[in-house]
Amino acid sequence: MARITYITNTDESITLEAFSGSLMELAVQNGVPGIDGDCGGVCSCATCHVHVAPEYMAIVGEPEEIEMDMLELNDDVDEYSRLGCQVQISEALDGITLTVAR
């Protein structure tokens, strides 16, 4: 199991627990504001953008080419950006903090 914390645009901190699924699915299922997941998780809408806490970036890993390109749709993309639908939850992510992009 992994405990995952989302920091919303209003600085609210929401901690959730999950075994599987993607970071987008977990957020949508729990109504985390700012993560819409409009395309249902197929890397087509870029509405699931999060910034990964730097110390977890190595565990989460770099985005693939298509995800990297889709991230460019957002203005505040940085080296810690990921699309939540492309990151699968596993125990390795336990304790991670994600900041919901603006």
Partner 1 sequence: MMDSPDDKVVCVVGASHAGVTCAFALRREGWPGRIILFDADPELPYHRPPLSKAFLTSELGVEHYLLKPRESYLKDAIELRLGVQVANVQSTERYLTLADGRRQYYEKLVLATGARPCLPPIKGMADAKNVFPLRTAQDITRIREALLVSRQKRVLIIGGGYIGLETAASLRKMGAEVNILEREERILHRVTCPFMSEFFRYTHQNHGVIIETGKQVVAVESSDAQSTLQCSDGSSYQADVIIMGTGVRVNTALGSSAGVEIENGIKVDPTARTSDEHIYSIGDCTFHFNPHYRRYVRLESVQNAIDQAKVAAAAMCGKNVYYDAIPWFWSDQYDIKLQIAGLSQGFDNLVVRKEDREDQFSVWYFKGQELLAVDAVNNAKAYVMGTRLIRDRAIINKEKLADPAVALKSLV
Name the residues that contact ligand FES, by CB under 6 A: 24, 37-39, 41, 43-48, 83, 85
Which of ligand FES, partner 1, none does 19 bind, CB closer than 5 to 8 A by kind? Answer: none
User: Between β-strands 81-83 and 49-52, what pairing exists: parallel, antiparallel or unpaired?
Assistant: antiparallel
User: Within a 10 A sphere around the Cβ of 99, how many other Cβ atoms?
Assistant: 18
Which of ligand FES, partner 1, none does 94 bind, CB closer than 5 to 8 A by kind? Answer: none
CA distances from 82 to 14, 56, 75 (A): 18, 12, 13
Tell me which residues touch partner 1 (CB under 8 A). 28-29, 31, 33, 36, 38-40, 42-45, 65-67, 69-70, 72-73
